[in-house]
């Protein structure tokens, strides 16, 4: 019975990890949606960038997420670019979204 006790923590650890990943994507999407509404855009797509981070490659912390986005503005113009969610020090606990549009 003593050897079984540590094995009981494995499912707990896995559950916590899954909830953390779910929160990360949910929070990122919430930040992107809020940014779009505030700035007069409608998001068409937002693809999470795991490795390729475009203009944010060297300046993104572990707590931030980067997305490749496509959006339409109020005048119907379609734009594509990169969006970084969260702050450098506070990660997704911060509410910052920085967007750099393609030229």
Domain range enclosing 79: 5-101
> What does the pLDDT read at residue 9?
85
Rounded to an integer, what distance in angstroms lies between the CA atom of residue 64 and that of residue 54? 14
Rounded to an integer, what distance in angstroms lies between the CA atom of residue 70 and that of residue 34? 15
Cβ atoms of 83 and 69 within 8 Å: the answer is: yes
> What does the pLDDT read at residue 2?
67
In tens digits, the chain (103 residues) has pLDDT values of: 567 777 888 888 999 999 999 999 999 999 999 999 999 999 999 999 988 899 999 999 999 999 999 999 999 999 999 999 999 999 999 999 999 999 8
* Paired sense of beta strands 65-73 and 41-48, if any: antiparallel
Kindly state the tokens that stand for 79.
């734009």
> What does the pLDDT read at residue 28?
97
Domain count, the chain: 1
Q: Which H or E element spans position 91?
A: none
């Amino acid at each position: 019975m003593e050897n079984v006790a540590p094995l009981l923590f494995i499912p707990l650890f896995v559950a916590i990890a899954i909830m953390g990943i779910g929160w990360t994507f949910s929070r990122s999407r919430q930040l992107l949606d809020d940014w779009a509404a505030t700035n007069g855009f409608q998001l068409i797509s937002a693809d999470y960038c795991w490795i390729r981070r475009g203009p944010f490659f060297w300046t993104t912390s572990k707590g931030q997420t980067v997305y490749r986005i496509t959006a339409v503005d109020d005048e119907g113009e379609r734009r594509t670019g990169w969006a970084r969610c969260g702050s450098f020090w506070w990660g997704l606990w911060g509410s910052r979204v920085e967007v750099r549009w393609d030229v």
